[in-house]
Amino acid sequence: MFDEDQIEAFNLIKDGHNLLVSGQAGAGKTFLIKKAVKYLRKHQRKADIVCSTGIAATHFSDLGAQTLHRWAGIEDGRHMNQNLLHLIETDERFISVKKNFLNVDVLFIDEISMISSKVLSQVEFLIRNVKKSNQYFGGAQIVLVEDFYQLPPVPNELLGDPGNHCFRISWFNDCFPHQIILHLIHRQSDHTLIKCINELEIGNPSDETLAFLNSLNRPTGNEHNAVQLFARNLDVDLFNYNKLQSIPGDLKVYHAQYQGSEHYLNKMLALKNLGIKNDCSIMLVKNLSESLVNDLRGKVTKSYPKSVDVEFMIDDKS
């Protein structure tokens, strides 16, 4: 069942309006999207779901979600608008992208907070020009979904993207006149925790919230498999090196074969030389399929001279 905010958003989607749906984790954004997509497809409307990351797309794997960059063919943002438009119109490698643009009736973009104004503007330009229309996004209905208090876009100075939020675009409010906030938290009934999160989100914790947080201070127990977060790449490299050295067994080093500009290659996440051991943790840095996506974690089970076997956890299954 929908709450009042979800009903309002669903009716706007059903009636063909562009809108932004926002709300905290647990407010029912994913639930709303799934219900809306199923309704639209049942009524013969081509509804696609795209996300800013591969991990986010796995939440909608049953509905064929993929990353926005893959769906729109924008790759890492290296292409200028006109150059990419030419590729989409003429290059057979972009046939599926052109079909996406021509066929889509409704496009849901989840985790829009991580999509920069440069990226969203480029997608709008491409869809409008491929559809040969003067309307925003070529007349396709667009539904943006996110909590803008969460992760912002990542700047990429190399490709001229300062990482501005998409709502900084001059035409944003004109294109998305309906902006619905989902207020009711469905996945959490602890009102103290909800209040705490609300105050932390805006950076203004009360004395009650600070006392609640301090009450949670306790030993963390076994941290062996916990993900560690660092602010600097140097700290990440040192931590990973020490972790790898602590694993028993022989270290095997794999050397990448690469071609192209050294300037761009140095910016890639994939390493030129990768040392691994059996039972070490790894993370994908590229989408390989609908289930093997960027950011997915796994463990090396066996190594060979030119390849490795990796066990990934997908939807709590390996």
Give percent of the chain with pLDDT exceeding 90.
56
More confident residue, 290 or 105: 105
Determine the average pLDDT of the residues in 66-94: 93
Looking at 60-64, 181-185, 288-292, which range is the least confident one?
288-292
> Using 50, 70 and 90 to split pLDDT, how confident is the model at 170?
very high
> Using 50, 70 and 90 to split pLDDT, how confident is the model at 222?
low
Query: Which has the closest alpha carbon to 136: 114, 119, 121?
Result: 121
Contact yes or no for 21/145 (Cβ under 8 A) = yes
pLDDT at 224: 67
> Using 50, 70 and 90 to split pLDDT, how confident is the model at 24?
confident
Assigned domain for 207 exists? no
Query: Edge-to-edge strands of the sheet including 178-182?
Result: 66-67, 47-51, 106-110, 141-146, 19-23, 178-182
Domain region containing 11: 4-182
d(CA 295, CA 312): 11
Number of domains in the chain: 2
* 272 has a pLDDT exceeding 90: no
Assigned domain for 208 exists? no
**Residues 147 and 286 grouped into a single domain:** no
Q: For 102-141, write each residue's pLDDT tens digit.
A: 999 999 999 999 999 999 999 999 999 999 999 999 999 9
Q: Which residues lie across from 274 on neighbouring strands? A: 254
> Using 50, 70 and 90 to split pLDDT, how confident is the model at 265?
low
**Residues 163 and 255 grouped into a single domain:** no
Contact yes or no for 18/34 (Cβ under 8 A) = no
pLDDT at 318: 56
**Residues 176 and 251 grouped into a single domain:** no
Is pTM, for the whole model, over 0.85? no
More confident residue, 225 or 130: 130
Query: Which has the closest alpha carbon to 236: 226, 225, 244, 228?
Result: 228
Retrieve residue 258's tokens: 């690469």
Looking at 34-43, 77-86, 100-109, 256-265, which range is the least confident one?
256-265
pLDDT at 21: 97
**Residues 157 and 21 grouped into a single domain:** yes
Q: Which of 182, 215, 247 finishes a domain?
A: 182
pLDDT at 4: 94
* 261 has a pLDDT exceeding 80: no
Determine the average pLDDT of the residues in 213-217: 90
Domain containing 43 — which CATH number? 3.40.50.300
Determine the average pLDDT of the residues in 200-206: 87
For the chain, what is the radius of gyration of the CA atoms? 22
Assigned domain for 223 exists? no
Q: Quickly tell me which residue has 């076994």 as its tokens.
A: 222
The alpha helices in 147-232, defined as continuous H runs, are: 172-175, 191-201, 207-215
